[in-house]
């Protein structure tokens, strides 16, 4: 399963990668990491990942716009939003744009794995 990790924090990108590599999830191959929405969409087109973890607050293009762009390219994309933005309206907006799930920051290892498993099912 090909995964694209999108977050403007390199600490968060590496943390997600590390949690998944240490987990018992089915083999996940990280095909790219992006720090902006623009980079994310470019990597998405290049690698067509099965799964995307998507931050919302990012420079250049935010996570909602990137989600919309990815869904346009591949309507059945599995996108998990991982964001600190904890208001209901933002979660609803992201889900309406086609995201499959929403995980709030701060998150722990189990919460990330659980959220990804739900999407993969």
Partner 1 sequence: MAADVTALSDIDEREIQVFVEAVSRYFSQITGQKAEIRAAFLTNNERALPVFEFTGMIKISGDYYGAIYFSTDRFLLSRLLQIMNEPRHGEEHLLDAVGEIANTLAGNARQHFGEMMEVSVPLTMDGKESKNLKGLRDRPYVIMVRWKQYEASVIIDIKRKK
The nearest distance, CB 41 to partner 1, in angstroms, is 17
Burial class of 39 by CB neighbour count within 10 A (0 to 12, 13 to 18, 19+): buried
Looking at residues 79 to 118 of the shown chain, list those that interact with partner 1 (rule: CB under 8 A). Answer: 83-87, 89-90, 104-108
Interacting residue with partner 1 among 6, 8, 40, 64 (CB under 8 A): 8
- Would you say 25 and 74 are in contact if contact means Cβ atoms under 8 Å apart? no
Who contacts 119 (Cβ-Cβ below 8 Å, separation ≥6)?
A: 51, 78, 80, 100, 101
Q: Site map for partner 1, 25-64, x if CB under 8 A?
A: --------------------------------xxx-----
- Write out the residues near partner 1 by the rule CB under 8 A: 8-12, 14-15, 18, 57-59, 83-87, 89-90, 104-108
């Amino acid at each position: 399963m090909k995964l694209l990790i999108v977050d403007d924090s390199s600490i968060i990108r590496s943390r997600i990668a590390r949690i998944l590599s240490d987990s018992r999830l089915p083999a996940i191959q990280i095909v790219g990491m992006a720090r902006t929405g623009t980079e994310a969409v470019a990597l998405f087109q290049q690698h067509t990942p099965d799964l995307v973890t998507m931050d919302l607050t990012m420079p250049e293009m935010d996570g909602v716009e990137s989600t919309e762009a990815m869904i346009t390219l591949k309507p059945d994309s599995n996108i998990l939003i991982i964001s600190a933005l904890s208001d209901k309206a933002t979660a609803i907006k992201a889900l309406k744009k086609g995201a499959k799930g929403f995980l709030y920051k701060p998150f722990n290892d189990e919460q990330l794995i659980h959220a990804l498993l739900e999407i993969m099912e």
